Chain A
Amino acid sequence: MADNKQDDEILGKAYDSKLMKRLLTYIKPYKKYVIIAILLNIFVASLGPLRPYLTKVAIDDYIVNANYHGLMIIALLLFGSLILQAVVQYFLTYYTQYLGQRTLYDIRTQIFEHTQKLALKYFDRTPIGRIVTRTTNDVESLSELFSSGIVMVFSDVFIIIWILVFMFSMDIPLSLVTLSVLPVLVYGTFLFRKKIRESYRDVRFHLARLNSYMQEHVTGMSVVQIFRKEKDELKKFSSINADHRDANIKSIFYYALFFPGVELLSSIAIALIVWYGGGEVVQKSVGIGDLFAFIQFTEMFFRPIRDLSEKYNIMQTSMASSERIFKLLDNKTFINNPENPIKLNGVKGDIQFKDVWFAYDDENYVLKNINLQINPGETVAIVGHTGAGKSTLINILTRFYDINKGSVLLDGIDIRKVDKRDLRKYISIVLQDVFLFSGTVESNINMDNNEISLEKIMHSSKTVGADKFISNLPNKYNEEVKERGATLSVGQKQLISFARALAYDPKILILDEATSSIDTETEQLIQSAIEKLLVGRTAIVIAHRLSTIQNADKIIVLHKGEIREIGNHQELLAKRGIYYKLYQLQYKDQELRKSN
């Protein structure tokens, strides 16, 4: 836990060359396009600074010399450059963003693919919310880096370079005088960014406090109200709220200083142009048009410099997110397939547990020395008190977890020598907690597998008795199933999960019966469904129903991770051991209810 917590707290450096290198591997497939984008950027960056230069030409060569025709040509040139700039700008932005979004798509799908390979052990230990955040939010926060960050940095740099090129080609001394405000601007901007970042961090800290206070107290509102603490809590809330306000007001101070400051700097630059440049014009070393151009250049300078400092922030968040993403991608908690798997060509369904030991944490054994033989076609019921190891026993059979010692054999083959997918194709599990996906009834039965025809779905539903309620639904098999099957009853969900198992027609069926009591009518439906489900296959049932254990070929009594008793219902009852007690506790009521 402690380790995971840190995971979310990674703040990130602004630049980490190792992370950056790895991030850049994602744009490698688009390398050609990135280069084209950068080249286009160099070109389009020149068009903006070109216009002040054209203005100068218009004034000094044509207006001053009263050349209407020349002025018109310049105006048309200006217009042309404007349109060209706008058009290229549009496609360039679009194109860059497309590259960025493509890259994000690649990353998003890669992460998801990775999660699908991770073993259950990983999911047991990691809160689902965290895995979700990695695949969604963290990827999103890379968005700016890829879609505008990388390419736009080039664009800003080129704009600045072009402006310098034009200025110096027009008049070097005037350029130097004008640019004398530049160091102040650059320094000021970066200082501002730094201060803003600090105060923004402060704001975020107080916002987080405010949010966690609200989160906590909305959740615990009943405690607040029971203890009549509304007034005191309001006081506390106000003080946190006030801290948040003050932090914001402090950041206003920097903005209030920065924006007028930038305006002042640009005025100083203009004043310098008037004073020094004006003198040069009087001495005829430059034309009046140069003054016009330089005034426009000064205004052009400010935006890219401001943007560049902003890119720094984008980098910081992206680095933190990418670090978290890479950590997930580097997690290799897999259940590995053997290198040369034995191909299963139809199985008989003979299962054997040989001296099996298992612990979730490699320390506390939940299954101890399990030896068990299940013959093809047999139905085996597993019973036991809470925590006896029943669910674990079925989990290791499908290699959701790998055992620590011993072996599990299917038709005499160690299941670790078989491809997991191959193995699971022959074994279906029906879990106690039915999990339905959002989709339709049909997609829940065939698990979105188009190879399973509608006829087969309908046949399976009919066999387990689910067809009745399904045909009563407004859209039958096409009826929408909400997230987690919210609109269906517990019994209906179970029937659907039975139909699902049957549609896949497994050789071996593992059934974890639900305990929750349902109305008698549904109960009867489910009982007969289970009977039909078990016919003709090897079945292992964690039984909660008396009828199931009574029909089982053998009952296995697990207690504290060990097999304590094996036999059929009558034999075990006669023993008066653990089974007898369990029977009294869990199953006897059902007998009473039945006889009622």
Chain B
Amino acid sequence: MKNLLTLKKYFIQYKTKLLWGMIFILVSNTMTVYLPILLKDSINEIQKDATSGILLKYALLIVGTSIVAGIFRYLIRQTIIVVSREIEYDLRNDFWQHIQKLPLKYFQNNSTGNIMSHATNDINAVRGFIGPAVMYSIDTVIRLVIVVAIMFSLNLALTIYALLPLPILSYGVYRVGKLIHEKYTKIQENFSQLTTRAQENFSGIRVIKSYVREANEIKRWNELSQEFLRKNMNLVRIQSLIMPILTIITGISIIVVIWVGGTKVINGEMNLGEMAAFVMYLSILIWPVIAFGWVMNIIQQAEASMKRLNKILNEPYEIQDSSSTDLSVKELKGEIELRNVSFKYSESLPEVLKEINLKIKVGSTVAIVGHTGSGKTSFINLIPRLYDVTSGQIFIDGINVKSIPLDILRTNIAVVQQESFLFSDSVYGNLSYGLRDIDKQRVEEVSRIANFDKDVQSFPNGYDTVVGERGITFSGGQKQRASLARALATNPKILILDDSFSAVDTHTEEEILKNLKEFMKNRTSIIISHRISTVKDADKIVVLENGRIAEQGTHYELVALNGLYAELHYKQLLEKELEELN
């Protein structure tokens, strides 16, 4: 129960509603419990040859009492279950707020599916505890107390005989529920094995076909399916017990009442009306008793889920404003300096950047080239503090980035990432993403610069076209140009392009670069690219190799140097020749 204590603050927030809920439970139970008494009295009246007037009175009383009980039952759900949905809402909001602040590292180490499963399954399990579990446990306790008290007052011995099977029932449901949960988990494991198997087979279908192993694959699949069948039957063996157990135990209670109670009636120790009341009380008690065993399982599962949720909710933010943040920094000009910067993704991994020293002047363009894995993307991630340096410092306008308020830092830097990511929103919405509101004029302007405007015109609804809807998918190049436009729209002081033209053809790229020239005046730009054509006009080209700066200078200087850059240059010339060859 330790982990579920986290929920205390939510319960306190909704305490009035919850309190009302409990009062409603009390009232409705009082009414429900009154019904068998009415039945008892009416049967006794019938035996005394009651007039139809008296019978009608009892009939109306029974209906009236259950209407009142029903109204309160309605109110119980409208308070307690509704609260559970409200708390679920709050919890999920808090969860999301927290998730958004976690460093990118967290998202790299945890799969999207995993995070999603916490946000849905675990929160769901916790809600099951707040709503049904709380409702039924209060209900059960109150009902049990009242009913048992009345039954005792009617006939002590019979009560004991009749109630004897019920705790066994409750415990039985609890045990069986637990067993079912265990077996079910095993089935889930087996099911995911099946899924993996299918996944693997379909991914490797080429190899399977070329070695003619289809028959064997089918055999293995059948074996696994057989295993799945077996595991399912294991569950069925337990699951099939539920109905018979319920039948026997509830049935036995009633038989006890009829036999023992009947004997007492014959002996004149009780009357038929009381016997009828007993039968009815038992049927009132049975459901809460079953629910009790079931609730115990819900609580256990909720506890496990809450534990997982708490683990995430306690993840540190790592990158955030701190006491050393200089709140007087309101704007940035864009001079960047890296001093002895080294970086690794985690303690156990090797350094991806080693003692980088680099100065980038305001308004200049610096290009970074290098092989895959040479550290280019890591380099630019450090500037807007998507990651923090492992050692060394990064300064913007002479201020350590760690002292610049995160809001100021990131709103002044625009990054166009390698993998362009658009949201399923309209083109207007996507391109205004970094702005307060949608600014149509601005969007159209930057689309022109990013050479995206003509594409938009070809979309069915122009700038109102929603990305990803009705099969409208953007090509890689379109996505890249859209994300470029999105970055430009924010009017950044520092523009970072991480291989943002890889899917754009060279001709279009040239046009974009031409347009950008005007835009980039007075702004600092960092461009990562594999293409010489993209970087050749930069003020400075930095060649990274194994996390170190291997060469730097202008295009001509580097070509003359006859090193890595020159080699790359030469190869791309050849490639171009080959492509143009018919």
Contact = CB atoms under 8 A, between A and B. Distances in A.
Interface in A67-124: 67-68, 71-72, 74-75, 78-79, 82-83, 85-87, 89-91, 93-94, 97-98, 101-102, 104-105, 108-109, 112-113, 115-117, 120, 123
Given A82-B252, A83-B248, A233-B100, A278 B262 contact: no
A237 interface: yes
Interface stretch (A184-192, A194-202, A220-228, A366-374): A220-228
B89 interface: yes
Interface in A188-217: 207, 210-212, 214-217
B50 A437 contact: no
A260 B69 contact: yes
B56 interface: yes
B433 A1 contact: no
A252 interface: yes
Nearest to B236: A97
Interface string B542-582: 00000000000000000000000000000100110111011
B63 interface: yes
A215 B62 contact: no
Interface stretch (A17-25, A315-323, A525-533, A578-586): A578-586
A132 B74 CA distance: 44
Contacts of A223: 417, 421, 423, 433
A520 interface: no
A71 B262 CA distance: 7
Contacts of A234: 93, 96-97, 100
A270 to B, nearest CB: 6
Contacts of B93: 234, 237-238, 241
B147 to A, nearest CB: 15
A229 B433 contact: yes
A556 interface: no
B196 A483 contact: yes
Contact of A75 (B62, B208, B259): B259
Contacts of A435: 203-204, 206-207
Contacts of A425: 212
Contacts of A581: 574, 577-578, 581
A83 to B, nearest CB: 7
A310 interface: no
Nearest to A92: B240
Interface stretch (A58-66, A166-174, A467-475): A58-66
Contact of A582 (B60, B212, B276, B578): B578
A483 B197 CA distance: 10
Contacts of B243: 89-90, 93
B207 to A, nearest CB: 5
A48 B56 CA distance: 30
A382 interface: no
A226 B266 contact: no
B324 interface: no
A427 B192 CA distance: 34
Interface residues of B, number: 133
Interface string B257-275: 0110011011000001000
Interface in B33-48: 35, 39, 42-43, 45-47
Given A227-B434, A274-B42, A237 B96 contact: yes
B59 A132 contact: no
Contacts of A214: 96, 115-116, 119
A164 B195 CA distance: 47
Please tell me the size bucket of the interface on A.
35 or more
Interface in A222-281: 222-230, 233-234, 237-238, 241-242, 244-245, 248-249, 252-253, 255-257, 259-261, 263-264, 267-268, 270-272, 274-275, 278-279, 281
A59 B279 CA distance: 13
Decide if the interface of chain A is mainly helix, strand, loop or mixed.
helix
A264 B202 CA distance: 56
Contact of B255 (A78, A216, A420, A447): A78
A429 interface: yes
Contacts of B46: 274, 278, 281-282, 288, 291
Contact of A109 (B78, B209, B218, B473): B218
A449 interface: yes
Contact of A132 (B45, B66, B195, B216): B195
B70 interface: yes
A98 B96 contact: no
A68 B258 CA distance: 12
B409 to A, nearest CB: 9
A135 B218 CA distance: 13
B66 A252 contact: no
B359 to A, nearest CB: 24
B238 to A, nearest CB: 10
Nearest to A143: B232
Contact of A112 (B104, B198, B208): B198
A101 B384 contact: no
Contact of A256 (B74, B112, B241, B254): B74
Contacts, number: 364
A574 interface: no
B221 A220 contact: no
Contact of B218 (A1, A78, A116, A260): A116
A279 B59 CA distance: 12
Interface string B496-507: 000000000000
Given A448-B213, A585-B571, A90 B241 contact: yes
B272 A51 contact: no
B116 A245 contact: no
A74 B257 CA distance: 13
B263 A82 contact: no
Contact of B236 (A101, A230, A398): A101
Given A109-B218, A429-B210, A252 B202 contact: no
Interface string B74-86: 1111100110011
B233 to A, nearest CB: 6
Contacts of A559: 581
Interface string B335-358: 000000000000000000000000
B88 A245 contact: yes
A1 B473 CA distance: 10
Interface in A271-329: 271-272, 274-275, 278-279, 281-282, 288, 291-292, 295-296, 299
B283 A86 contact: no
Contacts of B279: 292, 295-296
Contact of B410 (A51, A228, A398, A420): A228
B199 interface: yes
Nearest to B407: A228
Residue of A131, A132, A425, A584 contacting most chain B CB atoms (<10 Å): A132
B91 to A, nearest CB: 10
A93 B240 contact: yes
Contacts of B134: none
5 contacts: A219-B421, A259-B77, A435-B203, A435-B206, A578-B578
- Nearest 7 A-B pairs (CB), nearest first? A267-B66, A256-B77, A260-B70, A275-B59, A86-B244, A75-B259, A93-B240
Given A424-B210, A448-B213, 10 more contacts: A82-B251, A86-B244, A89-B247, A245-B86, A259-B73, A264-B66, A268-B66, A275-B52, A299-B283, A428-B210
Interface of A: 1-2, 5, 48, 51, 55, 58-59, 62-63, 66-68, 71-72, 74-75, 78-79, 82-83, 85-87, 89-91, 93-94, 97-98, 101-102, 104-105, 108-109, 112-113, 115-117, 120, 123, 128, 131-132, 135-136, 140, 147, 207, 210-212, 214-230, 233-234, 237-238, 241-242, 244-245, 248-249, 252-253, 255-257, 259-261, 263-264, 267-268, 270-272, 274-275, 278-279, 281-282, 288, 291-292, 295-296, 299, 385, 398, 400, 420-421, 424-425, 427-429, 431, 435, 437-438, 447-449, 483-484, 500, 504, 559-560, 578, 581-582, 584-585
